[in-house]
Amino acid sequence: MKAPHVLLLDPDPLRRDHLAVALRTAGCTVLTVEDGPRAMEALAVPGIELLVLDLGLADLDLAALRRALAPAADVAPDALDAAERRHIAAMLRHTRGNKRRAAQLLGIARSTLLAKVRKYNLDPGQE
């Protein structure tokens, strides 16, 4: 399974280092920054999949962050099947392929999850 790329924004170096170690131990690739402007620069780099931040940062421009994270307005929304496939794949990654746990977190029966895995041709090893 592919490890997620995480951008970690925290001004406290001790807390930032502890969180980075925990995320790396969990298999994530972590990029750390200490302030809002550096986070905005890092978001411009492709490949960041998750963002961990303190929303109370004084120098964080929430409007600019919202624009950086929002999809382009001229892009048509995904079909429901595509969104469901992406969500199930993400849950399987989160549970490291444990279908029983993924079904519990999704709030569906394991048999339903297995049917959807077949329907969307999801192999946890591929995602």
pLDDT tens digit sequence for 84-96: 998 899 889 888 8
Exposure string for 33-42, b = 16+ CB within 10 A, e = fewer: beebeebbeb
Cβ atoms of residues 44 and 69 within 8 Å: no
Res. 126 pLDDT band, cuts 50 70 90: very low
Res. 118 pLDDT band, cuts 50 70 90: very high
pLDDT, greater one: 70 or 17 = 17
What are the residue ranges spanned by the domains of the chain?
5-69, 80-119
pLDDT higher than threshold 60 for residue 69: yes
Cβ atoms of residues 100 and 82 within 8 Å: no
Cβ atoms of residues 11 and 58 within 8 Å: no
User: Cα torsion for 114, 115, 116, 119, to the nearest 10°?
Assistant: 130
Decide: helix, strand or coil at residue 26.
coil
Pick the CATH number of 5-69 from 3.40.50.620, 1.20.1090.10, 3.40.225.10, 3.40.50.2300: 3.40.50.2300
Average of per-residue pLDDT values in the chain: 80
Average pLDDT over residues 33-42: 79
The CATH number that domain 80-119 falls under is 1.10.10
Q: Name the DSSP letter for residue 77.
A: P
